[in-house]
Amino acid sequence: MKNFFTPGVKLMLIASVGFACMNASVKYISHIPVFEVILFRSIITLLISYITLKKRKVNPWGTHHKFLIARGLFGAGGLICYFYTLQHLQLANAIVIHYLSPIFTTLIAMLFLKERVKGIQWLAFGISFTGVILVKGFANISLLDFLVGVLGAALSGFAYNAIRNMRDKEDADVIIFYHPLISLPVVLIYLLLFPQSRVIPTAYDWIFLIGTGIFTQVGQYYITRAYQMDTAARISSVSYIGIIWGVLMGKYLFNDTYPATVLIGMLIVLSGVMLNLNALRLRKLADKIRNILVRN
């Protein structure tokens, strides 16, 4: 179990809970346009991040501006796509599609950061991908919604690799600060170019808008620290645990129902995660068996 629960995995598990609460908050305010939700979310998280940095007396602007801006831009694009699917799909289905991001994260890390991916990890990702396709095939999801979800997953993969590239180079809170710092002007520019009818939040809506910002901050902090402490392939695969939270919250908070085939697809996804997390232990076990056979 020691190899299973590494410090990075533990932090990613905490992040998954934070993001699960964020997902539920966004779902509760589906009647508010996506860009309006992101606008409020960006303002709240920007204030929290700035106050945190000031209290810690850390320079908020950082030094690796190219990667910080890239993290902000890709993160903003991924966030817009993800919030869109959260509002248009059942909670667990939106999460499952978004969790194609570990595959993109690993591919990008392999190509640009030269991280090695073991054969058993490719098998694990193949299993998880098969599960995602099963969910898409048996759930009532339009092609447009699916493609928006896939685009969001790809953009998130680039964002996570930007974080990974700044390992031990930038403070986690600085990296988090750049996400709303870039997202806010992106959303404002969009709203200026494509004006939308505004929905005035009620007192009830404000609870979830503020909750979205706070839970996002919790999730962003722990996921950033997790990517700074472990490999992209390992940490990104742990994020699939969010599917469990999605199913439970969807069922008990939003009365979502899922066909048996969709649930089987989700279990296949999680099986791929468990295989990925235990890849090192399985490889060592295989080496031991091989050595025993050679000696005999």
Are residues 53 and 60 in contact, defined by beta-carbon separation less than 8 angstroms? yes
What is the DSSP code string of 210-240? HHHHHHHHHHHHHHHHHHHHS-HHHHHHHGG
Measuring CA to CA, which residue among 238, 256, 237 is closest to residue 246?
256
Q: Give the tokens for residue 17.
A: 């809970």
Domain ranges of the chain: 7-295
The predicted-structure confidence for 204-245, as pLDDT tens digits, reads as follows 999 999 999 999 889 988 988 887 788 766 776 677 778 788
Q: What is the mean pLDDT of the chain?
A: 85
CA distance 229 to 212: 26
Closest CA to 238 of 76, 105, 45, 136: 105
Tokens of 62: 């950082």
**Of the candidates 88, 116, 106, 219, the residue with the CA atom closest to the CA atom of residue 164:** 106
Report the predicted TM-score, pTM, of the whole model to 2 decimal places.
Answer: 0.80
Which residues, in sequence order, are CB contacts of 17 under 8 Å at separation 6+?
A: 219, 245
Tens digits of pLDDT across the chain (296 residues): 455 578 888 898 899 999 999 999 999 999 999 999 999 999 999 999 999 999 999 999 999 999 999 999 999 999 999 999 999 988 888 888 887 787 788 788 888 877 777 777 788 888 888 887 787 777 778 889 989 999 999 999 999 889 888 877 889 899 989 999 999 999 999 888 887 778 889 999 999 999 999 998 899 889 888 877 887 667 766 777 787 888 889 889 999 888 888 888 888 877 877 777 676 667 777 677 777 777 76
